[in-house]
Structure 1
Protein backbone atom coordinates (compact mmCIF):
# COMPACT_ATOMS: atom_id res chain seq x y z
CA UNK A 1 0.00 0.00 0.00
CA UNK A 2 2.79 2.41 0.91
CA UNK A 3 4.48 1.71 -2.42
CA UNK A 4 1.26 2.44 -4.32
CA UNK A 5 0.82 5.71 -2.42
CA UNK A 6 4.41 6.72 -3.21
CA UNK A 7 3.88 5.95 -6.89
CA UNK A 8 0.66 7.98 -6.88
CA UNK A 9 2.46 10.98 -5.40
CA UNK A 10 5.14 10.69 -8.08
CA UNK A 11 2.54 10.64 -10.85
CA UNK A 12 0.75 13.65 -9.37
CA UNK A 13 4.00 15.65 -9.29
CA UNK A 14 6.08 13.91 -11.95
CA UNK A 15 8.81 16.60 -12.14
CA UNK A 16 8.82 16.92 -8.32
CA UNK A 17 8.16 20.64 -8.31
CA UNK A 18 7.33 20.34 -4.62
CA UNK A 19 10.89 19.34 -3.71
CA UNK A 20 12.30 22.87 -3.77
CA UNK A 21 9.11 24.97 -3.70
CA UNK A 22 9.58 26.24 -0.14
CA UNK A 23 13.34 26.68 -0.52
CA UNK A 24 12.84 28.71 -3.70
CA UNK A 25 10.20 30.90 -2.06
CA UNK A 26 12.50 31.62 0.88
CA UNK A 27 15.39 32.80 -1.29
CA UNK A 28 15.91 36.54 -1.45
CA UNK A 29 16.26 38.11 -4.87
CA UNK A 30 19.78 37.94 -6.23
CA UNK A 31 21.76 41.11 -5.54
CA UNK A 32 22.97 42.98 -8.61
CA UNK A 33 26.61 42.02 -8.00
CA UNK A 34 25.89 38.51 -6.69
CA UNK A 35 27.50 35.72 -8.70
CA UNK A 36 24.63 33.32 -8.07
CA UNK A 37 24.94 29.90 -9.72
CA UNK A 38 22.34 27.14 -9.87
CA UNK A 39 23.33 23.51 -10.38
CA UNK A 40 20.60 21.53 -12.15
CA UNK A 41 20.90 17.76 -12.12
CA UNK A 42 20.09 14.35 -10.72
CA UNK A 43 21.42 12.39 -7.73
CA UNK A 44 25.04 13.26 -8.48
CA UNK A 45 24.14 16.92 -7.97
CA UNK A 46 21.60 16.20 -5.22
CA UNK A 47 24.02 14.17 -3.07
CA UNK A 48 26.79 16.76 -3.40
CA UNK A 49 25.17 18.75 -0.58
CA UNK A 50 25.39 15.89 1.94
CA UNK A 51 27.58 16.69 4.98
CA UNK A 52 29.72 13.60 4.46
CA UNK A 53 30.91 15.08 1.18
CA UNK A 54 31.97 18.35 2.77
CA UNK A 55 28.93 20.41 1.86
CA UNK A 56 28.05 22.16 -1.37
CA UNK A 57 30.74 24.74 -2.20
CA UNK A 58 30.84 26.34 1.28
CA UNK A 59 30.89 30.13 1.20
CA UNK A 60 29.82 30.32 -2.44
CA UNK A 61 26.45 31.66 -3.66
CA UNK A 62 25.79 28.33 -5.37
CA UNK A 63 22.39 26.66 -5.20
CA UNK A 64 21.89 22.90 -5.49
CA UNK A 65 18.78 21.92 -7.41
CA UNK A 66 19.53 18.27 -8.08
CA UNK A 67 16.87 15.60 -7.59
CA UNK A 68 17.86 11.95 -7.32
CA UNK A 69 16.72 9.68 -10.11
CA UNK A 70 15.60 12.44 -12.45
CA UNK A 71 15.83 12.50 -16.21
CA UNK A 72 16.13 15.44 -18.60
CA UNK A 73 12.38 15.67 -19.39
CA UNK A 74 11.65 16.08 -15.68
CA UNK A 75 14.35 18.72 -15.33
CA UNK A 76 13.02 20.59 -18.34
CA UNK A 77 9.57 20.83 -16.74
CA UNK A 78 10.96 22.30 -13.52
CA UNK A 79 13.63 24.47 -15.16
CA UNK A 80 11.65 27.70 -14.80
CA UNK A 81 10.83 27.18 -11.13
CA UNK A 82 14.20 25.79 -10.05
CA UNK A 83 16.55 27.82 -12.26
CA UNK A 84 15.10 30.80 -14.14
CA UNK A 85 13.04 32.13 -11.22
CA UNK A 86 16.14 32.16 -9.00
CA UNK A 87 17.86 34.68 -11.30
CA UNK A 88 21.33 33.13 -11.38
CA UNK A 89 24.18 34.45 -13.45
CA UNK A 90 25.10 30.88 -14.46
CA UNK A 91 23.43 27.47 -14.58
CA UNK A 92 25.47 24.26 -14.49
CA UNK A 93 23.57 21.38 -16.08
CA UNK A 94 24.68 17.81 -15.35
CA UNK A 95 22.10 15.41 -16.76
CA UNK A 96 21.58 12.41 -18.98
CA UNK A 97 22.81 9.34 -17.12
CA UNK A 98 19.30 8.46 -15.92
CA UNK A 99 17.94 8.94 -19.43
CA UNK A 100 20.35 6.26 -20.61
CA UNK A 101 19.10 4.03 -17.78
CA UNK A 102 15.49 4.61 -18.79
CA UNK A 103 14.43 5.83 -15.35
CA UNK A 104 11.26 7.45 -16.67
CA UNK A 105 10.76 5.15 -19.63
CA UNK A 106 12.36 4.65 -23.04
CA UNK A 107 14.06 7.73 -24.47
CA UNK A 108 16.47 8.10 -27.37
CA UNK A 109 19.82 9.84 -27.14
CA UNK A 110 18.47 12.38 -29.64
CA UNK A 111 15.55 13.16 -27.34
CA UNK A 112 17.92 13.63 -24.41
CA UNK A 113 20.01 15.98 -26.53
CA UNK A 114 16.88 17.94 -27.40
CA UNK A 115 15.98 18.35 -23.74
CA UNK A 116 19.48 19.56 -22.89
CA UNK A 117 19.33 22.01 -25.79
CA UNK A 118 15.92 23.27 -24.63
CA UNK A 119 17.24 23.95 -21.12
CA UNK A 120 20.23 25.80 -22.56
CA UNK A 121 17.97 27.85 -24.84
CA UNK A 122 15.65 28.75 -21.96
CA UNK A 123 18.62 29.85 -19.87
CA UNK A 124 20.09 32.02 -22.62
CA UNK A 125 16.71 33.59 -23.38
CA UNK A 126 16.59 34.69 -19.75
CA UNK A 127 20.11 36.08 -19.60
CA UNK A 128 21.62 33.09 -17.81
CA UNK A 129 24.98 31.76 -18.95
CA UNK A 130 25.27 28.02 -19.44
CA UNK A 131 27.75 25.37 -18.37
CA UNK A 132 27.02 21.94 -19.86
CA UNK A 133 28.72 19.09 -18.02
CA UNK A 134 29.68 15.74 -19.44
CA UNK A 135 28.03 12.61 -18.08
CA UNK A 136 30.35 10.75 -15.74
CA UNK A 137 31.61 7.27 -16.61
CA UNK A 138 30.24 4.25 -14.75
CA UNK A 139 31.86 0.99 -13.69
CA UNK A 140 31.41 -2.57 -12.47
CA UNK A 141 33.77 -2.11 -9.53
CA UNK A 142 31.13 -1.40 -6.88
CA UNK A 143 29.59 -3.81 -4.40
CA UNK A 144 26.20 -3.87 -2.71
CA UNK A 145 25.60 -4.31 1.03
CA UNK A 146 25.98 -8.08 0.64
CA UNK A 147 29.23 -7.83 -1.27
CA UNK A 148 27.68 -8.68 -4.63
CA UNK A 149 29.09 -6.88 -7.68
CA UNK A 150 27.23 -3.88 -9.07
CA UNK A 151 27.56 -3.47 -12.82
CA UNK A 152 26.34 -0.01 -13.75
CA UNK A 153 27.30 -0.61 -17.38
CA UNK A 154 24.20 -2.74 -17.98
CA UNK A 155 21.75 0.17 -17.91
CA UNK A 156 24.25 2.86 -18.88
CA UNK A 157 26.39 1.43 -21.70
CA UNK A 158 29.77 3.20 -21.88
CA UNK A 159 29.41 3.68 -25.64
CA UNK A 160 26.15 5.57 -25.11
CA UNK A 161 27.82 7.81 -22.53
CA UNK A 162 30.57 8.57 -25.04
CA UNK A 163 28.00 9.33 -27.74
CA UNK A 164 26.07 11.71 -25.52
CA UNK A 165 29.20 13.44 -24.25
CA UNK A 166 30.47 13.98 -27.79
CA UNK A 167 27.22 15.73 -28.62
CA UNK A 168 27.27 17.84 -25.43
CA UNK A 169 30.81 19.02 -26.17
CA UNK A 170 30.02 19.84 -29.81
CA UNK A 171 26.77 21.60 -28.94
CA UNK A 172 28.44 23.69 -26.22
CA UNK A 173 31.19 24.75 -28.61
CA UNK A 174 28.75 25.61 -31.41
CA UNK A 175 26.42 27.63 -29.18
CA UNK A 176 29.06 29.43 -27.14
CA UNK A 177 28.38 27.62 -23.87
CA UNK A 178 31.04 26.27 -21.52
CA UNK A 179 31.77 22.55 -21.67
CA UNK A 180 32.62 21.06 -18.27
CA UNK A 181 34.56 17.83 -18.77
CA UNK A 182 34.04 15.72 -15.67
CA UNK A 183 34.40 12.55 -17.73
CA UNK A 184 38.10 12.86 -18.60
CA UNK A 185 39.01 13.59 -14.98
CA UNK A 186 37.16 10.58 -13.58
CA UNK A 187 37.67 7.84 -16.17
CA UNK A 188 40.30 5.09 -15.87
CA UNK A 189 42.34 3.29 -18.52
CA UNK A 190 39.46 0.86 -19.13
CA UNK A 191 36.95 3.59 -19.87
CA UNK A 192 35.25 3.15 -16.49
CA UNK A 193 34.70 5.35 -13.45
CA UNK A 194 37.86 5.22 -11.38
CA UNK A 195 37.44 2.75 -8.53
CA UNK A 196 38.67 5.13 -5.83
CA UNK A 197 36.11 7.79 -6.80
CA UNK A 198 32.93 5.79 -6.21
CA UNK A 199 31.55 3.09 -3.93
CA UNK A 200 28.82 1.86 -6.28
CA UNK A 201 30.25 2.59 -9.72
CA UNK A 202 27.79 5.40 -10.43
CA UNK A 203 27.77 8.05 -7.71
CA UNK A 204 30.91 9.93 -6.68
CA UNK A 205 32.21 9.52 -3.15
CA UNK A 206 34.04 12.25 -1.22
CA UNK A 207 37.13 11.71 -3.36
CA UNK A 208 35.03 11.93 -6.50
CA UNK A 209 33.46 15.23 -5.52
CA UNK A 210 36.91 16.51 -4.56
CA UNK A 211 37.93 15.93 -8.19
CA UNK A 212 34.77 17.51 -9.58
CA UNK A 213 34.59 20.63 -7.41
CA UNK A 214 37.62 22.52 -8.76
CA UNK A 215 36.61 21.67 -12.32
CA UNK A 216 33.19 23.14 -11.66
CA UNK A 217 34.72 26.25 -10.10
CA UNK A 218 37.02 26.73 -13.07
CA UNK A 219 34.17 26.36 -15.55
CA UNK A 220 32.01 28.85 -13.65
CA UNK A 221 34.86 31.36 -13.44
CA UNK A 222 35.52 31.08 -17.17
CA UNK A 223 31.82 31.46 -17.94
CA UNK A 224 31.45 34.58 -15.81
CA UNK A 225 34.49 36.15 -17.47
CA UNK A 226 33.40 35.32 -21.02
CA UNK A 227 32.13 38.19 -23.15
Structure 2
Protein backbone atom coordinates (compact mmCIF):
# COMPACT_ATOMS: atom_id res chain seq x y z
CA UNK A 1 0.00 0.00 0.00
CA UNK A 2 1.38 3.40 -0.96
CA UNK A 3 1.96 6.27 1.43
CA UNK A 4 -0.54 8.71 -0.09
CA UNK A 5 1.21 11.85 1.13
CA UNK A 6 4.65 10.81 -0.08
CA UNK A 7 3.29 9.59 -3.40
CA UNK A 8 1.40 12.84 -3.95
CA UNK A 9 4.47 15.00 -3.45
CA UNK A 10 6.71 12.66 -5.45
CA UNK A 11 4.33 12.85 -8.38
CA UNK A 12 4.18 16.65 -8.16
CA UNK A 13 7.98 16.82 -8.23
CA UNK A 14 8.01 14.57 -11.28
CA UNK A 15 5.39 16.70 -13.01
CA UNK A 16 7.34 19.89 -12.35
CA UNK A 17 10.52 18.35 -13.74
CA UNK A 18 8.90 17.05 -16.92
CA UNK A 19 9.02 18.99 -20.17
CA UNK A 20 5.74 18.55 -22.02
CA UNK A 21 4.84 20.00 -25.40
CA UNK A 22 1.55 21.91 -25.43
CA UNK A 23 -1.53 20.44 -27.01
CA UNK A 24 -1.74 17.10 -25.26
CA UNK A 25 -4.72 15.43 -23.62
CA UNK A 26 -4.44 15.81 -19.85
CA UNK A 27 -5.67 12.88 -17.75
CA UNK A 28 -6.51 14.43 -14.38
CA UNK A 29 -7.53 12.23 -11.48
CA UNK A 30 -6.37 9.53 -9.09
CA UNK A 31 -5.37 5.86 -9.40
CA UNK A 32 -7.79 4.99 -12.18
CA UNK A 33 -6.04 7.48 -14.46
CA UNK A 34 -2.50 7.11 -13.09
CA UNK A 35 -2.58 3.39 -13.88
CA UNK A 36 -4.23 3.82 -17.28
CA UNK A 37 -1.78 2.78 -20.02
CA UNK A 38 -2.89 5.45 -22.46
CA UNK A 39 0.03 5.10 -24.91
CA UNK A 40 -0.93 1.47 -25.51
CA UNK A 41 -4.71 1.75 -25.23
CA UNK A 42 -5.17 5.09 -27.00
CA UNK A 43 -2.76 4.98 -29.95
CA UNK A 44 -2.76 8.16 -31.96
CA UNK A 45 -3.52 10.33 -28.93
CA UNK A 46 -0.82 12.18 -27.02
CA UNK A 47 -1.98 11.86 -23.44
CA UNK A 48 -0.27 13.52 -20.48
CA UNK A 49 -0.89 11.45 -17.37
CA UNK A 50 -1.60 13.60 -14.34
CA UNK A 51 -3.25 10.95 -12.20
CA UNK A 52 -2.10 10.50 -8.61
CA UNK A 53 -3.21 7.36 -6.81
CA UNK A 54 -5.27 8.08 -3.67
CA UNK A 55 -5.68 11.74 -4.64
CA UNK A 56 -8.79 13.61 -3.65
CA UNK A 57 -10.61 16.72 -4.76
CA UNK A 58 -8.80 19.14 -2.47
CA UNK A 59 -10.82 19.63 0.69
CA UNK A 60 -7.60 19.16 2.69
CA UNK A 61 -4.18 20.70 2.11
CA UNK A 62 -3.54 18.45 -0.90
CA UNK A 63 -5.67 17.38 -3.82
CA UNK A 64 -6.61 18.33 -7.34
CA UNK A 65 -7.78 21.84 -6.47
CA UNK A 66 -4.25 22.56 -5.19
CA UNK A 67 -2.38 21.22 -8.22
CA UNK A 68 -4.27 22.48 -11.25
CA UNK A 69 -1.41 24.67 -12.45
CA UNK A 70 1.26 21.96 -12.67
CA UNK A 71 -1.23 19.23 -13.57
CA UNK A 72 -3.30 21.08 -16.16
CA UNK A 73 -2.97 24.78 -16.92
CA UNK A 74 0.82 24.86 -17.38
CA UNK A 75 0.46 22.14 -20.03
CA UNK A 76 -1.80 24.18 -22.35
CA UNK A 77 -3.85 21.09 -23.18
CA UNK A 78 -5.95 20.40 -26.26
CA UNK A 79 -8.41 18.46 -24.08
CA UNK A 80 -8.84 17.43 -20.45
CA UNK A 81 -10.24 14.22 -19.00
CA UNK A 82 -11.28 14.63 -15.36
CA UNK A 83 -12.32 11.86 -13.01
CA UNK A 84 -12.30 12.18 -9.24
CA UNK A 85 -14.43 11.87 -6.13
CA UNK A 86 -14.10 8.19 -5.27
CA UNK A 87 -11.44 8.72 -2.60
CA UNK A 88 -13.41 11.48 -0.89
CA UNK A 89 -16.50 9.27 -0.96
CA UNK A 90 -14.42 6.42 0.43
CA UNK A 91 -13.28 8.58 3.32
CA UNK A 92 -16.90 9.50 4.04
CA UNK A 93 -17.95 5.85 3.87
CA UNK A 94 -15.20 4.72 6.25
CA UNK A 95 -15.00 7.63 8.68
CA UNK A 96 -18.11 9.76 8.28
CA UNK A 97 -16.25 12.79 6.93
CA UNK A 98 -16.05 14.96 4.86
CA UNK A 99 -19.74 15.78 4.43
CA UNK A 100 -21.24 14.72 1.11
CA UNK A 101 -22.25 18.32 0.42
CA UNK A 102 -18.62 19.42 0.71
CA UNK A 103 -17.49 16.71 -1.72
CA UNK A 104 -20.16 17.75 -4.22
CA UNK A 105 -19.15 21.41 -3.93
CA UNK A 106 -15.45 20.61 -4.36
CA UNK A 107 -16.15 18.59 -7.50
CA UNK A 108 -18.02 21.51 -9.05
CA UNK A 109 -15.27 23.91 -8.00
CA UNK A 110 -12.71 21.84 -9.90
CA UNK A 111 -14.81 21.99 -13.06
CA UNK A 112 -15.58 25.68 -12.63
CA UNK A 113 -11.88 26.46 -12.18
CA UNK A 114 -10.83 24.48 -15.24
CA UNK A 115 -13.59 25.93 -17.37
CA UNK A 116 -12.78 29.45 -16.17
CA UNK A 117 -9.16 29.11 -17.29
CA UNK A 118 -9.79 26.96 -20.36
CA UNK A 119 -13.16 28.11 -21.70
CA UNK A 120 -12.75 26.60 -25.18
CA UNK A 121 -10.92 23.36 -24.36
CA UNK A 122 -12.95 20.13 -24.56
CA UNK A 123 -13.44 18.74 -21.06
CA UNK A 124 -14.58 15.15 -20.57
CA UNK A 125 -15.94 14.37 -17.10
CA UNK A 126 -16.02 10.72 -16.06
CA UNK A 127 -18.40 9.77 -13.28
CA UNK A 128 -17.43 7.58 -10.32
CA UNK A 129 -17.29 3.85 -10.98
CA UNK A 130 -19.22 1.23 -9.02
CA UNK A 131 -17.43 -1.08 -6.61
CA UNK A 132 -17.88 -4.67 -5.47
CA UNK A 133 -16.70 -7.19 -2.89
CA UNK A 134 -15.41 -5.63 0.31
CA UNK A 135 -15.92 -2.17 -1.21
CA UNK A 136 -19.56 -2.74 -2.19
CA UNK A 137 -20.79 -0.59 0.68
CA UNK A 138 -19.51 2.46 -1.18
CA UNK A 139 -22.04 2.03 -3.98
CA UNK A 140 -24.89 3.85 -2.24
CA UNK A 141 -22.77 7.00 -1.95
CA UNK A 142 -21.59 6.67 -5.53
CA UNK A 143 -25.17 6.44 -6.78
CA UNK A 144 -26.03 9.57 -4.80
CA UNK A 145 -22.97 11.46 -6.03
CA UNK A 146 -23.06 10.69 -9.75
CA UNK A 147 -26.18 12.71 -10.59
CA UNK A 148 -24.31 15.74 -9.25
CA UNK A 149 -21.38 14.89 -11.54
CA UNK A 150 -23.80 14.92 -14.47
CA UNK A 151 -25.27 18.22 -13.33
CA UNK A 152 -21.83 19.80 -12.99
CA UNK A 153 -20.78 18.60 -16.44
CA UNK A 154 -23.89 20.09 -18.02
CA UNK A 155 -23.55 23.38 -16.14
CA UNK A 156 -19.97 23.89 -17.31
CA UNK A 157 -20.31 22.77 -20.91
CA UNK A 158 -18.49 19.47 -20.47
CA UNK A 159 -18.97 16.05 -22.03
CA UNK A 160 -20.16 13.48 -19.50
CA UNK A 161 -18.80 9.95 -19.88
CA UNK A 162 -21.17 7.73 -17.92
CA UNK A 163 -18.68 4.93 -17.47
CA UNK A 164 -20.48 3.82 -14.32
CA UNK A 165 -23.34 2.54 -16.46
CA UNK A 166 -20.94 0.52 -18.62
CA UNK A 167 -19.25 -1.07 -15.60
CA UNK A 168 -22.24 -1.91 -13.43
CA UNK A 169 -23.91 -5.29 -13.44
CA UNK A 170 -27.58 -6.00 -12.93
CA UNK A 171 -27.10 -5.58 -9.17
CA UNK A 172 -25.47 -2.16 -9.61
CA UNK A 173 -22.05 -3.39 -8.47
CA UNK A 174 -18.83 -3.37 -10.50
CA UNK A 175 -18.85 -6.35 -12.85
CA UNK A 176 -16.48 -9.03 -11.59
CA UNK A 177 -14.65 -9.44 -14.89
CA UNK A 178 -13.55 -5.78 -14.82
CA UNK A 179 -11.70 -5.82 -11.49
CA UNK A 180 -9.35 -7.93 -9.42
CA UNK A 181 -9.81 -6.18 -6.08
CA UNK A 182 -13.36 -4.82 -6.22
CA UNK A 183 -12.26 -1.19 -6.53
CA UNK A 184 -9.77 -0.72 -9.36
CA UNK A 185 -10.02 -1.73 -13.00
CA UNK A 186 -8.03 -4.66 -14.36
CA UNK A 187 -6.78 -5.04 -17.94
CA UNK A 188 -10.26 -5.93 -19.20
CA UNK A 189 -11.72 -2.92 -17.43
CA UNK A 190 -9.12 -0.57 -18.86
CA UNK A 191 -9.73 -1.86 -22.38
CA UNK A 192 -13.43 -1.07 -21.92
CA UNK A 193 -12.56 2.37 -20.55
CA UNK A 194 -10.32 3.17 -23.51
CA UNK A 195 -13.04 2.15 -25.96
CA UNK A 196 -15.57 4.35 -24.15
CA UNK A 197 -13.24 7.34 -23.89
CA UNK A 198 -11.68 7.36 -27.36
CA UNK A 199 -14.66 8.78 -29.29
CA UNK A 200 -14.61 11.89 -27.10
CA UNK A 201 -10.92 12.73 -27.67
CA UNK A 202 -9.16 14.65 -30.43
CA UNK A 203 -6.65 12.81 -32.58
CA UNK A 204 -2.97 13.60 -32.43
The normalised TM-score by structure 1 is: 0.76
- 1:134-213 mapped onto 2 (5 Å cutoff): 134-140=127-133, 151-154=134-137, 156=138, 158-213=139-194
1:69 to 35, 54, 58: 54
**Structure 1 residue 97: deviation in Å?**
0.9
Name the counterpart of 2:14.
Answer: 22
- 1:120 deviates by 1.2
| 8 A contact 1:54–1:206 mirrored in 2 | no
Mapped to 2, the partners of 1:118 and 1:191 lie a distance apart of 28
User: Contact 2:41–2:191 at 8 Å: present in 1 too?
Assistant: no
Give the number of the structure whose alpha-carbon radius of gyration is greater.
Answer: 1
Structure 1 Cα separation of the partners of residues 100 and 75 of structure 2: 29
Matching residue of 1:144: none
Conserved? CA contact 1:56–1:64, under 8 Å: no
Which blocks of at least 5 consecutive residues in structure 2 are unaligned? none
Contact kept? 2:29, 2:64, Cα under 8 Å: yes
Pairwise CA distance, 1:93: 1.0
In structure 1, what is the Cα distance between the partners aligned to 2:39 and 2:174?
A: 21
Q: Which sections of structure 1, spanning at least 5 residues, go unmatched? A: 1-5, 141-150
Separation in 2, partners of 1:94, 1:159: 18
The corresponding residue for 2:25 is: 37
Kindly tell me the number of residue pairs found equivalent between the two proteins: 194
Aligned residues of 1:136 and 1:183 also touching (Cα < 8 A): yes
